Structure formats: C-alpha cells, structure tokens
Amino acid sequence: MNKEKNLSYLVLIRHGQSEWNEKNLFTGWKNPPLTEKGIEEAELAGIRIKNLNIDFSHYFTSALIRAQETGEIILNQLEKEKIIKTRSQNLNERDYGDLSGLNKDEAKKEWGEDQVHIWRRSFDTPPPGGESLKDTADRVLPYFEEKIKPLVEQGNNILICAHGNSLRSLIMSLEEISPSEIVKVEIGTGEPILFSYSTESRFKRKDL
C-alpha cells in the first residue's frame, strides 16, 4: 500500500494463539505464552503488515506476555528497530475474575450455560470478581483518546497489539458500533485490522 496524502494509519492486531487459548481456558489477566501456532500466526501477521508498506512510528501493547511476544515477532518481521514502544495495563484483556484459569466447558457445568453466556456476551454484566466489556471499554477508550489518538491526528502511523476484548472496545468506538452489536463481533488471533485516518473522514476501516 502506498501511503496516501494526508492519511495516517492505525493497525490493530490481537495476539497469536496462547497456551490457554489452545486449552479453552478463560485467560483474562493471566499470563500464558504463545503456542507454536501462535508464533506462526504472529509471523504471518508481520508479513501481511510489512506488505502494507506503512512506516510505523509508535507501537503500543498491553502488560501481558502473549501480546508483547506477538508484537515483538511482528516488529522483527518489519525489521523495525527505531520505533517508540509503550506498554500499558489499560490495553490488557478483560479480567475474567473468578473464571480465570477455568475450562469454559467446566465453567458451564458449574454455573450453567446460560449464566456463562451472559458473562461472556453481555456488555455490562461482569463475572464474579472480574470485568464486563463495559468495564474494559472504560479503561481502554480514555487511554486511547489521551495517549494514542493525538499521535494519529498528528500524522503518525500506529501499531497496537492487544487482546480480543480490549480491541473490541476500541473498534466499538472507531466504527460507532452499538454495545448490543459489538458483543457479537469476533476478532481472530493474529488477524491485522487496518484503519486509515484523515481529518475529513476520521477513522475508516480498510481492507487488507
């Protein structure tokens, strides 16, 4: 992709498959590393992002290992040594509280399928001791508005490597998706999502 005049770019990517993704466990703020598949997903994502021919100036990630590992693999693919790196807990995955570390099928047996579905797919009902998607958005969006969006508005190209629910919160805002609809949006591991930004059209999702 050739950089169009007066456009800047924001690329979002969910980390590659983690060991707990593979085991179907609620992960949240726990810190499992990537699987071999997750490493491969990150490498392929790096190639896809490199082919966009975008010169990134800033890279943001969460405080969790699986996102950091994914981001470093991507930056290695980009052969990008000079980039400003920022880690923030505000970009962490949703905290699943008492569900963290539990197998999702076992959780259904313990609390019931309907209750677990509500915890996973409602916007504002958190699991015991954890966060709802609304709670996650309440920390992700102010951080984005304060720390990241101004950089994009100044013409910088930004890469964010984070998690399914932190990115879901961000996409809800960028694409003006309703809370009832955003809970249905799936974000695949290792799948880059590209937005362009201009003062005229603001953020606009683009095909990769």
Domain ranges of the chain: 8-206
Q: What is the DSSP letter of 63?
A: S
Q: Which one of 3.40.50.1240, 3.40.50.2300, 3.30.420.40, 1.10.3720.10 gives the CATH number of domain 8-206?
A: 3.40.50.1240
Measured in whole angstroms, the distance separating CA 186 from the mean position of its chain's CA atoms is 11
Catalytically active residues, by annotation: 15, 93
Nearest Cα neighbor of 38 from 55, 4, 14, 7 is 14
pTM: 0.95
Per-residue pLDDT of the chain (208 residues; tens, 9 = 90+): 545 568 999 999 999 999 999 999 999 999 999 999 999 999 999 999 999 999 999 999 999 999 999 999 999 999 988 999 999 999 999 999 999 999 999 999 999 999 999 999 999 999 999 999 999 999 999 999 999 999 999 999 999 999 999 999 999 999 999 999 999 999 999 999 999 999 888 999 998 8
Phi, psi values for residue 63, rounded to 5°: -90, 10
